[in-house]
């Protein structure tokens, strides 16, 4: 039986818009979360890729929201004004888009994301399945191994390119 979720692939943003894919990976033993962000243009070229390691609060949704916030910081530092943000955490996308409410600690991260909206001329947030978010997920896992915060601009180092090339 054909599963449409399996066949979905990443799609580039419209012209003059950049797409940031973000994700979090968790290492429960070490109590850390790895955050990954990759930003591409309408020609699918990677403009910037970034990893960050942070303390894991015990709530995966908070880590996923922190990945969105990290992606916004990276995009702002790259001076990008029109941005689509994709996360594979549907609950976080709903919270950011005010389609759902929450009283947990995630509210603080969502509030920071909402505050950062003003830094962009155009910004939108979307849920995307993991199959369309593989590059960001790979970066989040890389963050768990590197235990550092790094931002790379194009051209990317060979070791970062190799993380992406194994997904093709």
What per-residue confidence (pLDDT) applies to 161? 84
Q: Which of 17, 119, 23, 36 is nearest to 77 (CA)?
A: 119
Which strands, in side-by-side order, build the sheet including 46-55?
Answer: 122-127, 82-87, 18-27, 32-40, 46-55, 150-153
24-78: pLDDT as tens digits: 999 999 999 999 999 999 999 999 999 999 999 889 999 999 999 999 999 999 9
What per-residue confidence (pLDDT) applies to 146? 84
What per-residue confidence (pLDDT) applies to 103? 63
What per-residue confidence (pLDDT) applies to 166? 65
Quick one: tokens of 59? 């709530």
pLDDT at 6 over 60: no
CA angle 11-158-43, nearest 5°?
25
Domains and CATH numbers, the chain: 19-165 (3.30.420.10)
151-165: pLDDT as tens digits: 999 888 888 888 777
106-124: pLDDT as tens digits: 888 999 999 999 999 999 9
């Amino acid at each position: 039986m054909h599963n449409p979720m399996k066949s979905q692939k990443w799609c580039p943003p419209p012209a003059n818009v950049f797409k940031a894919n973000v994700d979090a990976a968790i290492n429960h033993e070490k109590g850390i979360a790895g955050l990954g962000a990759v930003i591409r243009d309408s020609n699918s070229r990677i403009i910037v890729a970034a990893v960050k390691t942070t303390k894991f609060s015990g709530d995966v949704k908070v880590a996923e929201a922190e990945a969105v916030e990290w992606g916004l910081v990276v995009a702002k530092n790259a001076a990008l004004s029109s941005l689509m943000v994709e996360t594979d955490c549907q609950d976080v996308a709903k919270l950011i888009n005010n389609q759902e409410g929450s009283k947990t600690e995630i509210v603080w991260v969502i509030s920071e994301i909402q505050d950062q909206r003003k830094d962009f001329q155009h910004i939108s947030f979307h849920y995307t399945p993991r199959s369309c978010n593989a590059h960001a997920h790979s970066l989040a896992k890389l963050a768990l191994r590197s235990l550092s915060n790094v931002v790379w601009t194009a051209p990317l180092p060979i070791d970062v390119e190799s993380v992406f090339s194994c997904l093709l």
